[in-house]
Amino acid sequence: MGLRIHFVVDPHGWCCMGLIVFVWLYNFFLIPKIVLFPHYEEGHIPGILIIIFYGIAIFCLVALVRASIADPGRLPENPKIPHGEREFWELCNKCNLMRPKRSHHCSRCGHCVRRMDHHCPWINNCVGEDNHWLFLQLCFYTELLTCYALMFSFCHYYYFLPLKKRNLDLFVVRHELAIMRLAAFMGITLLVGITGLFYTQLIGIITGLIHVFDTTSIEKMSNCCEEISRPRKPWQQTFSEVFGTRWKILWFIPFRQRQPLRVPYHFANHV
Protein backbone atom coordinates (compact mmCIF):
# COMPACT_ATOMS: atom_id res chain seq x y z
CA MET A 1 0.00 0.00 0.00
CA GLY A 2 1.55 3.29 -1.11
CA LEU A 3 1.54 6.42 0.99
CA ARG A 4 -1.36 8.63 -0.09
CA ILE A 5 -0.61 12.34 0.14
CA HIS A 6 -3.01 14.46 2.20
CA PHE A 7 -2.40 18.21 2.33
CA VAL A 8 -4.49 20.42 4.61
CA VAL A 9 -4.86 24.11 3.72
CA ASP A 10 -4.89 25.70 7.17
CA PRO A 11 -2.76 28.80 7.98
CA HIS A 12 -3.05 28.09 11.71
CA GLY A 13 -1.68 24.59 11.16
CA TRP A 14 1.12 25.94 8.98
CA CYS A 15 2.21 28.28 11.78
CA CYS A 16 2.18 25.51 14.38
CA MET A 17 4.10 23.12 12.18
CA GLY A 18 6.53 25.90 11.22
CA LEU A 19 7.28 26.42 14.90
CA ILE A 20 8.05 22.72 15.33
CA VAL A 21 10.36 22.79 12.30
CA PHE A 22 12.12 25.88 13.69
CA VAL A 23 12.80 24.10 17.01
CA TRP A 24 14.11 21.07 15.13
CA LEU A 25 16.42 23.17 12.93
CA TYR A 26 17.62 25.16 15.95
CA ASN A 27 18.73 22.02 17.75
CA PHE A 28 19.92 20.20 14.62
CA PHE A 29 22.46 22.89 13.71
CA LEU A 30 23.37 24.68 16.96
CA ILE A 31 23.70 21.83 19.49
CA PRO A 32 26.36 20.01 17.41
CA LYS A 33 28.09 23.32 16.57
CA ILE A 34 28.33 24.50 20.18
CA VAL A 35 28.51 21.25 22.15
CA LEU A 36 29.06 18.03 20.23
CA PHE A 37 31.78 18.85 17.68
CA PRO A 38 33.98 20.97 20.01
CA HIS A 39 33.96 18.32 22.73
CA TYR A 40 34.58 15.58 20.16
CA GLU A 41 37.58 17.44 18.75
CA GLU A 42 39.08 17.73 22.24
CA GLY A 43 38.45 14.06 23.00
CA HIS A 44 35.73 14.50 25.61
CA ILE A 45 33.09 12.39 23.83
CA PRO A 46 33.21 9.58 21.23
CA GLY A 47 32.03 10.17 17.68
CA ILE A 48 29.24 7.61 18.01
CA LEU A 49 27.29 10.07 20.19
CA ILE A 50 27.23 12.55 17.30
CA ILE A 51 26.01 9.83 14.92
CA ILE A 52 23.26 8.87 17.37
CA PHE A 53 22.17 12.52 17.67
CA TYR A 54 21.87 12.94 13.91
CA GLY A 55 20.15 9.57 13.57
CA ILE A 56 17.46 10.48 16.10
CA ALA A 57 17.03 13.92 14.50
CA ILE A 58 16.55 12.43 11.03
CA PHE A 59 14.06 9.83 12.26
CA CYS A 60 12.16 12.63 14.04
CA LEU A 61 12.00 14.77 10.91
CA VAL A 62 10.89 11.88 8.70
CA ALA A 63 8.12 10.98 11.15
CA LEU A 64 7.02 14.63 11.27
CA VAL A 65 6.89 15.06 7.49
CA ARG A 66 5.17 11.75 6.85
CA ALA A 67 2.61 12.24 9.65
CA SER A 68 1.75 15.68 8.29
CA ILE A 69 1.26 14.66 4.65
CA ALA A 70 -0.03 11.09 5.05
CA ASP A 71 -3.71 10.39 4.45
CA PRO A 72 -5.05 9.74 7.98
CA GLY A 73 -7.85 7.55 6.63
CA ARG A 74 -10.09 9.91 4.70
CA LEU A 75 -13.23 8.18 3.46
CA PRO A 76 -14.13 8.37 -0.24
CA GLU A 77 -17.36 10.05 -1.30
CA ASN A 78 -18.87 6.81 -2.61
CA PRO A 79 -17.41 3.98 -0.51
CA LYS A 80 -18.05 0.39 -1.53
CA ILE A 81 -19.71 -1.31 1.42
CA PRO A 82 -19.44 -5.12 1.48
CA HIS A 83 -22.88 -6.68 1.75
CA GLY A 84 -22.10 -8.53 4.95
CA GLU A 85 -20.73 -5.44 6.71
CA ARG A 86 -23.54 -2.94 6.23
CA GLU A 87 -24.54 -3.16 9.90
CA PHE A 88 -21.12 -1.77 10.83
CA TRP A 89 -21.63 1.44 8.83
CA GLU A 90 -23.57 4.57 9.68
CA LEU A 91 -24.54 7.90 8.14
CA CYS A 92 -22.56 11.00 9.06
CA ASN A 93 -24.96 13.78 10.02
CA LYS A 94 -22.50 16.47 8.87
CA CYS A 95 -21.39 15.37 5.41
CA ASN A 96 -24.28 12.94 4.74
CA LEU A 97 -21.91 10.16 3.66
CA MET A 98 -21.72 6.58 4.82
CA ARG A 99 -18.82 5.76 7.09
CA PRO A 100 -17.65 2.80 9.21
CA LYS A 101 -18.45 2.97 12.89
CA ARG A 102 -15.67 4.52 15.00
CA SER A 103 -15.09 7.07 12.22
CA HIS A 104 -15.48 10.75 13.03
CA HIS A 105 -16.02 13.97 11.12
CA CYS A 106 -13.24 16.57 11.30
CA SER A 107 -14.73 20.04 11.20
CA ARG A 108 -11.36 21.60 10.33
CA CYS A 109 -10.62 19.29 7.39
CA GLY A 110 -14.27 18.94 6.34
CA HIS A 111 -14.45 15.16 5.92
CA CYS A 112 -14.76 11.92 7.87
CA VAL A 113 -11.67 9.99 8.97
CA ARG A 114 -11.53 6.31 9.92
CA ARG A 115 -10.82 5.95 13.64
CA MET A 116 -9.97 9.61 13.98
CA ASP A 117 -8.11 10.28 17.23
CA HIS A 118 -7.93 14.08 16.99
CA HIS A 119 -6.93 16.90 14.67
CA CYS A 120 -3.39 17.94 15.55
CA PRO A 121 -2.38 21.49 14.56
CA TRP A 122 1.30 20.66 15.22
CA ILE A 123 1.34 18.33 12.20
CA ASN A 124 -1.46 20.23 10.40
CA ASN A 125 -3.33 16.98 9.88
CA CYS A 126 -5.79 14.62 11.48
CA VAL A 127 -4.49 11.63 13.40
CA GLY A 128 -6.42 8.62 12.16
CA GLU A 129 -6.12 4.95 11.36
CA ASP A 130 -3.55 5.30 8.56
CA ASN A 131 -1.11 7.74 10.21
CA HIS A 132 -1.54 7.06 13.93
CA TRP A 133 1.60 4.94 13.90
CA LEU A 134 3.60 7.83 12.43
CA PHE A 135 2.23 10.19 15.07
CA LEU A 136 3.35 7.81 17.83
CA GLN A 137 6.81 7.64 16.26
CA LEU A 138 6.91 11.43 16.08
CA CYS A 139 6.10 11.70 19.80
CA PHE A 140 8.71 9.09 20.67
CA TYR A 141 11.56 10.57 18.63
CA THR A 142 10.72 14.15 19.62
CA GLU A 143 10.91 13.19 23.28
CA LEU A 144 14.12 11.23 22.69
CA LEU A 145 15.77 14.06 20.75
CA THR A 146 14.73 16.66 23.33
CA CYS A 147 16.13 14.59 26.22
CA TYR A 148 19.34 14.00 24.27
CA ALA A 149 19.82 17.70 23.56
CA LEU A 150 19.01 18.74 27.15
CA MET A 151 21.40 16.13 28.51
CA PHE A 152 24.30 17.41 26.43
CA SER A 153 23.46 21.01 27.24
CA PHE A 154 23.66 20.16 30.94
CA CYS A 155 26.90 18.19 30.52
CA HIS A 156 28.43 21.04 28.52
CA TYR A 157 28.36 23.33 31.56
CA TYR A 158 28.41 20.98 34.54
CA TYR A 159 30.16 17.74 33.55
CA PHE A 160 32.48 18.02 30.53
CA LEU A 161 35.92 19.58 30.87
CA PRO A 162 36.07 23.23 29.77
CA LEU A 163 36.90 23.73 26.10
CA LYS A 164 40.43 24.88 25.44
CA LYS A 165 39.90 26.04 21.86
CA ARG A 166 37.23 28.70 21.42
CA ASN A 167 36.95 30.83 18.29
CA LEU A 168 35.42 34.06 19.58
CA ASP A 169 35.04 35.34 16.03
CA LEU A 170 32.09 32.98 15.54
CA PHE A 171 28.64 34.36 16.34
CA VAL A 172 27.49 31.16 18.07
CA VAL A 173 30.54 31.24 20.35
CA ARG A 174 30.18 34.91 21.32
CA HIS A 175 26.47 34.45 22.11
CA GLU A 176 26.70 30.89 23.36
CA LEU A 177 25.00 31.48 26.71
CA ALA A 178 21.93 33.15 25.17
CA ILE A 179 21.65 30.46 22.48
CA MET A 180 21.89 27.64 25.00
CA ARG A 181 19.38 29.27 27.35
CA LEU A 182 16.88 29.57 24.52
CA ALA A 183 17.54 25.96 23.51
CA ALA A 184 16.99 24.82 27.11
CA PHE A 185 13.74 26.81 27.41
CA MET A 186 12.34 25.39 24.16
CA GLY A 187 13.53 21.89 25.09
CA ILE A 188 11.92 21.86 28.53
CA THR A 189 8.68 23.34 27.20
CA LEU A 190 8.54 20.80 24.38
CA LEU A 191 9.46 17.92 26.67
CA VAL A 192 6.65 18.70 29.13
CA GLY A 193 4.07 19.01 26.36
CA ILE A 194 5.13 15.96 24.37
CA THR A 195 5.39 13.79 27.48
CA GLY A 196 1.77 14.48 28.38
CA LEU A 197 0.62 13.86 24.82
CA PHE A 198 2.65 10.68 24.41
CA TYR A 199 1.40 9.35 27.75
CA THR A 200 -2.20 9.98 26.73
CA GLN A 201 -1.67 8.13 23.46
CA LEU A 202 0.00 5.13 25.08
CA ILE A 203 -2.47 4.83 27.94
CA GLY A 204 -5.30 4.51 25.42
CA ILE A 205 -3.57 1.46 23.97
CA ILE A 206 -2.41 -0.40 27.07
CA THR A 207 -5.35 0.18 29.43
CA GLY A 208 -8.10 -2.34 30.04
CA LEU A 209 -10.24 -0.73 27.35
CA ILE A 210 -8.03 -2.26 24.69
CA HIS A 211 -9.89 -3.04 21.54
CA VAL A 212 -8.37 -3.96 18.20
CA PHE A 213 -6.95 -0.46 18.18
CA ASP A 214 -6.69 1.86 21.14
CA THR A 215 -9.62 3.89 22.34
CA THR A 216 -9.40 7.20 20.51
CA SER A 217 -9.29 10.56 22.23
CA ILE A 218 -12.65 11.51 20.72
CA GLU A 219 -14.25 8.35 22.10
CA LYS A 220 -12.85 9.06 25.55
CA MET A 221 -14.25 12.59 25.55
CA SER A 222 -17.65 11.51 24.26
CA ASN A 223 -17.77 8.46 26.57
CA CYS A 224 -19.29 6.53 23.70
CA CYS A 225 -17.65 3.30 24.78
CA GLU A 226 -18.65 3.20 28.46
CA GLU A 227 -21.70 1.02 28.10
CA ILE A 228 -20.26 -1.28 25.47
CA SER A 229 -18.75 -4.63 26.32
CA ARG A 230 -15.83 -4.99 23.97
CA PRO A 231 -13.39 -7.88 23.63
CA ARG A 232 -10.02 -7.21 25.22
CA LYS A 233 -6.80 -8.03 23.46
CA PRO A 234 -3.14 -8.17 24.55
CA TRP A 235 -1.31 -4.88 24.25
CA GLN A 236 1.24 -6.47 21.91
CA GLN A 237 -1.53 -7.37 19.47
CA THR A 238 -2.97 -3.87 19.72
CA PHE A 239 0.38 -2.22 18.98
CA SER A 240 0.91 -4.64 16.08
CA GLU A 241 -2.37 -3.53 14.53
CA VAL A 242 -1.62 0.16 15.07
CA PHE A 243 1.83 -0.15 13.45
CA GLY A 244 0.76 -2.69 10.83
CA THR A 245 3.36 -5.34 11.70
CA ARG A 246 4.15 -7.88 14.40
CA TRP A 247 7.89 -7.23 14.06
CA LYS A 248 8.56 -4.98 17.04
CA ILE A 249 11.76 -3.54 15.56
CA LEU A 250 9.70 -2.14 12.67
CA TRP A 251 7.53 -0.18 15.10
CA PHE A 252 10.41 2.31 15.32
CA ILE A 253 11.10 2.67 11.56
CA PRO A 254 9.35 5.65 9.88
CA PHE A 255 10.69 4.89 6.38
CA ARG A 256 8.49 1.86 5.67
CA GLN A 257 4.92 1.45 4.45
CA ARG A 258 2.21 0.30 6.85
CA GLN A 259 0.18 -2.74 5.86
CA PRO A 260 -3.05 -3.17 7.85
CA LEU A 261 -3.19 -6.50 9.66
CA ARG A 262 -6.19 -8.68 9.00
CA VAL A 263 -8.37 -8.99 12.09
CA PRO A 264 -11.86 -10.35 12.65
CA TYR A 265 -14.32 -7.70 11.58
CA HIS A 266 -16.17 -8.00 14.88
CA PHE A 267 -13.05 -6.76 16.67
CA ALA A 268 -12.34 -4.05 14.12
CA ASN A 269 -15.71 -2.36 14.09
CA HIS A 270 -17.81 -3.40 17.06
CA VAL A 271 -18.35 -0.33 19.21
Evaluate whether 130 touches 258 at the Cβ level (below 8 Å).
yes
Output the CA–CA distances (angstroms, integers) from residue 251 to 83, 93, 138, 176, 242, in the order listed. Answer: 34, 36, 12, 37, 9
Would you please indicate which residues are annotated as catalytic (active-site) residues? 120
Instruction: Say how far apart CA 117 and CA 214 lie, in whole Å.
Output: 9
Phi, psi at 115, each rounded to 5°: 50, 50
Instruction: Say how far apart CA 140 and CA 59 lie, in whole Å.
Output: 10
Which segments of 159-243 does DSSP mark as H helices, in order?
A: 171-174, 176-206, 217-222, 235-243
Phi, psi at 119, each rounded to 5°: -95, 120
